[in-house]
Structure formats: C-alpha cells, structure tokens
Chains A and B, each alone.
Chain A
C-alpha cells in the first residue's frame, strides 16, 4: 500500500524533477520493451481487470492499522507481468491524482514506488515457483516482499528529497519515515495474504492465467456438464 500522500509543494523542485525524470525513464523503458518484445493477449486482459481492481481498491480506506488502503500491485505484477504492472501503476496514479488522492507533482515518485512493487513481486513469485514452492506461500510471500520493497523505496524517496516546511532535521526525519515504512510492512502482510488466496484460487480454476500450465493444454473443465 506504499503511496506518498503528501500535498503539492511538499518536495523541493529538484526532487520533483528528479523523480519525474526517473519515472519517465522507467516507463519509456517499459514501453520500449513491450513494443520490441510484444505482449500476450491474455496479459492485456489481465492488465485491464487488474487495473480496474487496483484503481477501485486504491481509493478505499479499510479500518485496519488506523485506516489504510491497499494497492493490489503485487497481485497485478504476478498476473500481468512486470511491464504491464508498471504501466498499470502509472495509470492508477494518474487517475488517483486527478481525483485528489495523491499530488500531481508526485505522480512520478508514486509510479516508481508502485511499479517497483509489481516488478519485485513478479520476479519473487517466479523465483519461488522455480524453487518448487506451493502456490499460496509463493504468491503471498512474493506479494509481501514486493510491497515491502515499495515501502522501503517510498521511505528512501522522502528522506532523499526532504520535506518543505518540516521542522525535523534529516536524522529525525529518517526515524519518522522509518515508522511509516514499518507500518507499511505490517500492511504488506494483509495484502500479501489476500494476494495469496486470489492467486491460489486462480491457479485452481485457470492455472494458465498464472503461468502454471501450458495455455494450449486448457480445454477440459471439471465443472458441471449436461
């Protein structure tokens, strides 16, 4: 659920330029990779549904840990892949900022944070599956690790940038941000477990969607037949 909820003008101008530039470079690289390598049709479909679910749940505060929202970026990364996952992070942040949830100037920084969650979750899931883990622990662990990495990146961005108007020296700011990162790690467990259940369910009914079966081999269902 890592997301920088600070208003416009909170970061100095150089920081806005830096994170926006890095975000543009990341998205440019993603688009280049997609155009060069192509994407599979089912990934586009999953990206569409994942983007819709991520945007909707992004705006809902749940009454846990004081009041937090989830991102589902780990789930999106595992299902749609790292490239489309990064693009979904951009789209969700643009629309969220347009509605006032997150500053427009921080779209670059927030895209970096959420894209890192999707990318790390995807590769962690692939690695754990190659190590012959079961679906639930692999997906729950991968999502938790991905979201944790996003939280740490969020903290690093805030500490490196500094906060305009804050009375805190850099050392105290680092400690304060560490508390926010810590809270995010706790939230990552909740979202990781949710992701684990969703991936496990998908793996049981459509293993091809999570890359656990040859898509061409799908055909016979075990559902009720006439």
Chain B
C-alpha cells in the first residue's frame, strides 16, 4: 500500500482519538489524576475542568496506593524479579534455539 495512504489513515485515527481525549480531559475534571477522576466522575457526573495537558513539574510518580501504603519496596522487588525472569527466559530461549535449531515446545503427540 502506498505510504501516504498508510500515514493518512494513521493520522485520521490519531485525530479522532485525540479529539475524544481532549473532550474527555475537559469534561471529567481537567488535570486530575486518573483514580481521582474516575471516582469523582462516576459519583457526581461530568463536570468541566481545566489545567494543563502536560505537567512536567509533577514528574513521573508511582501510583498512589503503592506510594502511600508503603509498598515501594515490594513494587521494586517484584519489578526486579520479573525483569530477571524475563531476561533469564530470553537467554534460555536464545540458547535453546542455538543448541538444536528447534524452538517448538510443549507440543502434543
């Protein structure tokens, strides 16, 4: 397919989604974090709100329930554990394929 058609389709999809996002942003409370926005919107209905779309001063923060309940160590621990398992599986898969040239496992007879 011609490239301009691909990117035109993608741009159209993005335009529709961004327009919906902007409407959702203003109608559900403006610059509210997602959890507060959900609770407020579903209890009291749609309300107009403002604020900046991007607030770099706020920074990237861990989700409130984890941060406020003291689960940071658990979060970091699980993330590291998952990372180790993921990398381990990747290395295992790479080596497994190199050894016998086959990558299909768990196949039933």
Contact = CB atoms under 8 A, between A and B. Distances in A.
A205 interface: no
A65 B53 CA distance: 5
Interface in A33-76: 34-36, 38-42, 44-53, 55-56, 58-69
Contacts, number: 238
How many B residues are at the interface, by size bracket?
35 or more
A69 B65 CA distance: 13
B50 to A, nearest CB: 11
Contact of B45 (A59, A141, A172): A172
A69 B34 contact: yes
Nearest to B38: A5
Nearest to B74: A99
B10 A140 contact: yes
B59 A63 contact: yes
Contacts of A47: 89
B82 A186 contact: no
Contacts of B64: 61
Given A41-B93, A101-B63, A158-B42, A180 B53 contact: no
7 contacts: A61-B63, A66-B29, A67-B55, A99-B69, A99-B78, A182-B27, A183-B28
Interface of A: 1, 3-7, 34-36, 38-42, 44-53, 55-56, 58-69, 95, 99-101, 131-134, 137-138, 140-141, 144-145, 148, 158, 163, 165-168, 172-173, 175-189, 192, 215-216
8 A-B pairs with least C-beta separation: A186-B21, A182-B24, A183-B24, A100-B65, A52-B82, A67-B33, A48-B86, A49-B86
